[in-house]
Amino acid sequence: MSLSVQFLSLLAMIGTGIGGGAFMDLIGTGIDGTGKRSFIRKYGVYLEVIGWIIVGCASFYILFLVRDGAWRMYDPVAQICGLLLYASIFHRPFRFFGRILNMLIIKPIVFVIALIYKVIRQIVRMIFRVLMFLLKPFFYLYDRIYESLPKNFKNSEK
């Protein structure tokens, strides 16, 4: 294995450490952003374990692409260096771009989906109210007729 391939694989492992740190930070921030009684908060530990499994599989996939899956002793050290690089240098820029992405893309999409849901819900409520208003005389007639029936006839229906 040439020196350039080893250097490329070292950079790839540092990159997977940075990507893994960003992904786990995303999961942790998402879990912290939920309410105290949220389903996500309740199962946060399991979500983080699943996140670490995904990071591990992605790291091995990158290792497979770069070096045909050959694992070296310096790979975990390079990944830890990548995690530390993320924590010390890349943490703030990633969070900044995450906030921008949230404000410009995610929140408007959530707003549009919520608006569509509320409009459809109001339309369904209005249709239901109109139907109930139109059927109210029939309910009134049914109640009046049912009250006028003899008592023994009402018992025979059951």
| Its pTM surpasses 0.85 | no
Domain-located, residue 87: yes
Query: Does 22 fall in a domain?
Result: yes
Residue 135 lies in a domain: yes
- Radius of gyration, CA atoms only, the chain: 30
Tell me, yes or no, whether 19 lies in a domain: yes
Q: Is residue 71 part of a domain?
A: yes
pLDDT tens per residue across span 1-48: 677 878 888 899 999 999 999 999 988 888 888 888 888 888 889 999
Residue 156 lies in a domain: no
Phi, psi angle pair for 150, to nearest 5°: -65, 155
Asked if the structure places residue 17 within a domain, the reply is yes
pLDDT in tens, 78-122: 999 999 999 999 999 988 998 898 899 989 999 999 999 999 999
Domain enclosing residue 60, as ranges? 3-150
Structural domains of the chain, count: 1
Q: Is residue 60 part of a domain?
A: yes
